[in-house]
Amino acid sequence: MRRLILLLLITAIPGCQAPMPAANPQMAWVDLSLPFPNDRVLLAERLDNQRLAEGRFFQVSPGSHELVVRFDYETNGGGGMSMMGGTTVRQCYLTLDYAHFQAGQRYVLEARSMALTPEARLYNAAREIVAEVSEFYCLM
């Protein structure tokens, strides 16, 4: 019985990690990045007010777009019910507008937490900042 369960687990885990699709050269590709260890989750939520089925990246047509990401990160004490110390996880939604997406280009949306304030920046392929968060709200 244990072997059967182990076999099922081994075959199920790779199925959860679908490969990334190929980038469409007619679209711009936006990777998501979390550079700090206390940052937990960064997921693509909405593109131009349309909910996305795939949360690992954005693929957008050239031009202007509004990107919304979910960003979860840990804060030390002082936030929410954690007045006694310890950590609290904040769940935030960040909105970023950029008017100049170019076909075939890769961008990186990098989110980080600065104490209780989340921030995100969009970088182009030359690692230049091309946009920053225009608004955010947090649930915790």
Q: What confidence tens digit (pLDDT) does each residue in 61-97 have?
A: 999 999 999 999 988 765 555 456 677 889 999 999 9
Amino acid letter for position 43: L
User: Of 88, 92, 101, whose CA–CA distance to 133 is shortest?
Assistant: 92
Q: Could you tell me which residue, 37 or 102, shows the higher pLDDT?
A: 102
Amino acid letter for position 71: F
pLDDT recorded at residue 97: 97
Give CA–CA dist 63/99, Å, rounded.
Answer: 6
